Structure 1
Amino acid sequence: METKEKVNFYDSWAQDYEQHMTVMDYQAPRFSVETLDAVYLGDRDSALVLDVPCGTGLVAETLQKLGFKHFHGIEGSKQMLKIAESKGLYQRLTHHMVTADNPLPAQPDSYDLVMIVGGLAQQHLPWEILPEMLRVTKSDGFICFTLRAEESDHRRNLLTSIQELVNKGLWENVVERYVEKWQRDMLPTGLAEEYADGIVTVYRKK
């Protein structure tokens, strides 16, 4: 899916997005925040969180319940951003399409926590974006992201990139959680009967 086509798709989906996520039993925000909750020992009251792509704000809503208060969001869909803004959780929202050659609009070492929930799925953020996530994260800061469990070329490239950053000593794995019943996919014929599985991973920047 081309970038413009992708943006148009999410713009047209924005109003119904959360309702559809409920129907699909999409719980990646809850699973990711639960996993992070068990390992994040920093001061949540002062922590600055980057949520990318922030969508309609589901991740910030979930994090707020655990004491996080300061959120910046980046999203390529203006209509998704409008809904996120209406929730009043983000101190800064930026309309920006993240691509391999379009860096994040953020200064180095800015964030205590970077959340990428759903964004690394195929045809979303490119796997080449991981060094950018590290660039904007503070030393000892956390990066939490989710993956679909099924095999694909995109997933293999992503895992290779993750390991290369480990080998370079740039970050270390804190926890990895395999989650069954991640979500039910919406197919052209209706809702899939079987659930897809997913993975939540948390890394710490060295």
Structure 2
Amino acid sequence: MTDSCRTEEDARAAFQSCKSNDARDRVRFYDSWAENYEEDHCLMSYSAPHLGIDFLMDNFSGRPAAARVLDVACGSGWIAKLMVELGFKHFVGVDGSQGMLDQAAKTGLYEELKLALLGTEPLPAHTGAFDVVIIVGALDAGFAPVSVVRELCNAAKPGGLVCMSRGDHRGAAGLQYKKDLERELQRMQEEGLWSPVGLKHTDRYMEDPHLNPQSVQELPQEQRFIGGMAYLYKKSLQ
């Protein structure tokens, strides 16, 4: 993060400038945002990484040092930096932005980093290869399609954990995405692909980045935030 003088207004403007529905335009945006990505998210009180990882650790019974972790939509490597503090050592990262992967490479934590645009290209991961599959923030309208969750399950080992952390962004598209996602999660459970470990909700997932900067300071604190959810599933042994 090279710009140490960024403000919440800068961060909010960055979030709001990514409006294109074209996947390649979004990739170019994230390439340009990579150096300030983590700082801007911190300025918006982004709790998704901790929400997902804390819930995962509440339910992880293996040896972190021996576990293979697939970090999907890995961005700048934030997840690996948090998980390595908990004893995890073996990470493979996937992201659609080369700029983000360049930042992730600087952490020195990933054994492999792979470029793939979720939903447009297959998830570049071997079937049944990972003890933990984690995706934070990317499951939302205009980003990773709901169909990606089957690929996450496919990459996990039998008995492995799939952790998904996402925000409940306001608006019709966000509401529909959540409905479609939870319908697909339930369908996969009924098909015997995995079983739910649990859900964890937060009222303070992050400050809503799409609020008007001029009016946001006038809102009560609780209205400035959107909620979010972590979903945790265990892949079936069969």
- State the TM-score, normalizing by the size of structure 2: 0.82
Matched ranges for 1:81-160 at <5 A: 81-99=101-119, 102-149=121-168, 152-160=175-183
2:74, 2:93 within 8 Å by CA — same for their partners in 1?
Answer: yes
Go from structure 1 to structure 2 and tell me whether the alpha carbon gap of 1:13 and 1:141 turns closer, same or farther (over 3 Å shift). same
Cα separation, 2, equivalents of 1:149 and 1:173: 20
Secondary structure of 2:63's aligned partner: coil
Aligned to 1:163: 186
Cα separation, 2, equivalents of 1:201 and 1:106: 21
The offset of 1:116, in angstroms, is 0.6
Q: Deviations over 1:47-105 (max 9, x none)?
A: 00000100001111111111111000001111111111001110100111111x52111
The offset of 1:188, in angstroms, is 6.9
**1:172 is the counterpart of 2:189:** no
Aligned to 1:38: 58
Secondary structure of 2:88's aligned partner: coil
Aligned to 1:20: 40
2:72, 2:95 within 8 Å by CA — same for their partners in 1?
Answer: yes
**1:66 is the counterpart of 2:89:** no
2:56, 2:163 within 8 Å by CA — same for their partners in 1?
Answer: yes
Aligned residues between the structures: 205
**1:195 is the counterpart of 2:225:** yes
Which deviates more from structure 2 when the two are superposed, residues 69-78 or residues 193-202?
193-202
Of Structure 1 and Structure 2, the greater helix share is in 2
Cα separation, 1, equivalents of 2:24 and 2:38: 22
Secondary structure of 1:116's aligned partner: strand
Of Structure 1 and Structure 2, the greater strand share is in 1
Aligned to 2:9: none
2:104 counterpart letter in structure 1: A
Unaligned residue ranges in structure 2 (runs of 5+): 1-20
2:185 counterpart letter in structure 1: I
What RMSD in Å do the two structures reach over aligned CA positions? 1.5
Cα separation, 2, equivalents of 1:190 and 1:30: 26
2:95, 2:101 within 8 Å by CA — same for their partners in 1?
Answer: yes
